[in-house]
Chains A and B, each alone.
Chain A
Amino acid sequence: MTYLDHGATSFPKPPQVHRAVAQAMRQCANPGRGGYPAAMAAAEALFRCREGAQRLFRCPAEQVVLTENCTQGLNMAIRTLVHPGDPVVISGFEHNAVTRPLYALGAKCHVAGRRLFDHGDTLQAFETALKAGVRAAVFTHVSNVFGYVLPVSELAALCRQYGVPFIMDAAQSAGSVPIDFEALGADFIAMPGHKGLLGPQGTGLLLCGRLPRPLCYGGTGTDSLNREMPDYLPERAEPGTRNVPGAAGLAAGLEYLYRVGVQTVGKRERTQAKLCGEGLKKLGFRVFSGEHQSGVVSFLPDMDCQEAAERLAGRGIAVRAGLHCAPLAHETAGTLETGTVRVSFGYNASDAQTQTLLRAASQLR
């Protein structure tokens, strides 16, 4: 199989991730509850994961909350900053993991930035909304549909300038684009563990610049006499037993990225996405590409996009078609009616993958 759906989850994972998961299954008991060796081995596995995140994102280990996925982190962050009816600014490229929690809260969403790959438009639209007064800003780092890399350093600076707390959705950027938590000064950055960070499914991280409001309440193994959740991290946001094998695998993924380098991985992905986009254009397809693009490229085939993906799957190529859980991004790009076929490269991106895809795509007539 030629796997080009890393935007959904990275696959296959590096062998060291498999080994770390298996080792944790063999050696670890419940973390943060007991003091015997198997319990401490579990606590150590979680701590290594936090340390890996600290090293990659410059975020103190205590402020790294282990979540089930990016969506859970985003929900926690949004429910901390946004109250029913609050005005909130979001980009025109947000995923349902952002828009649905905001809708559920009854937030008044101001959509800022409707032009793909246009930093000037994004920044101007955000500044207008921030100036008008909003309670919070939520923006994705990279569009999961089109690979548009938003100008997040400048957006963060604008938020700080106007005193507006912000959440960054790093679902498609973590592991592919450098992220500096300290420099951004974010209130929250949410990311999945199983995409660019190469960990197992069911893992995620929430980097916290402030105390979150818990989504769930329960035992933490510490502060047991307190009837409320602890007022310190990470316990406040981590009730119940954590996913120890998942965290061990994620720690191995973080270690891999630290060793290889996020810049190197990102460059590899972007190079192939560019070649892929150019090749698809030569084949006569409409391709969404531009400056500030990550390793994700969407195109419109001359047939229903799901049928195109099905035909590619028949030739051993895994891509994703449809709306990619991001109807807002499709509305922004004018592809809500058609959807797109998304090709997303990963840490193992290669010329061979691109050429295989282009050969198969040439038969989509």
Chain B
Amino acid sequence: MEKYYITFRSVTTAQRGERCLRRGGVECRILRTPRWMEERGCGYCLRLRPGELHKSLELLKGEGIAYSKIYLQDGVGGVTLWTP
């Protein structure tokens, strides 16, 4: 199953993002960002179910919550940087 990862520099921003998405009806989970996704060291990310990325980005934009990057994990384990 496809999954999206939205990465954040700060755990606090990731938490704000989590609150924002949940308020908007998007189910998500906050996680430590996989090491290879985080070029600056460590960070936090939100993992989304497929089909909810665009709504999520709108919600984050609406509250001015800045993210770092988005990654797409395909059904067979490959991961690519995703650009809106």
Contact of B15 with A by CB under 8 A: yes
Q: Which 7 A-B pairs have the closest CB atoms?
A: A224-B41, A35-B32, A225-B41, A47-B15, A32-B11, A224-B42, A223-B40
A43 touches B9 (CB 8 A): no
The distance in angstroms between the C-alpha atoms of A232 and B44, with both chains bound, is 14
Within 8 Å by CB of A62, from B16, B19, B30, B31, lies B16
Chain A residues touching B, majority SS: loop
Chain A, range 32-76, C-beta contacts under 8 Å to B:
32, 34-35, 40, 43-44, 46-47, 50-51, 61-62
Contact of A290 with B by CB under 8 A: no
The distance in angstroms between the C-alpha atoms of A50 and B14, with both chains bound, is 13
Which chain B residues border A222 with CB–CB below 8 Å?
9-11, 40-44
Contact of A235 with B by CB under 8 A: yes
Count, chain A residues at interface, CB 8 A:
24
If A232-B9, A232-B10 touch, whether A44 touches B40 (CB-CB below 8 Å) is no
Within 8 Å by CB of B9, from A35, A50, A61, A223, lies A223
Contact of B73 with A by CB under 8 A: no
Chain B residues touching A, majority SS: mixed
The distance in angstroms between the C-alpha atoms of A230 and B40, with both chains bound, is 10
B10 touches A234 (CB 8 A): yes
- Please encode chain B, from 38 to 51, with 1 for each CB lying within 8 Å of some chain A CB and 0 for all others: 01111110000000
13 additional A-B pairs beyond A32-B11, A222-B11, beta carbons within 8 Å, are A35-B31, A43-B11, A62-B16, A221-B11, A222-B9, A223-B9, A223-B41, A223-B43, A224-B40, A225-B41, A226-B41, A234-B12, A235-B9
B41 touches A61 (CB 8 A): no
Which chain B residues border A46 with CB–CB below 8 Å?
12
Which chain B residues border A235 with CB–CB below 8 Å?
9-12
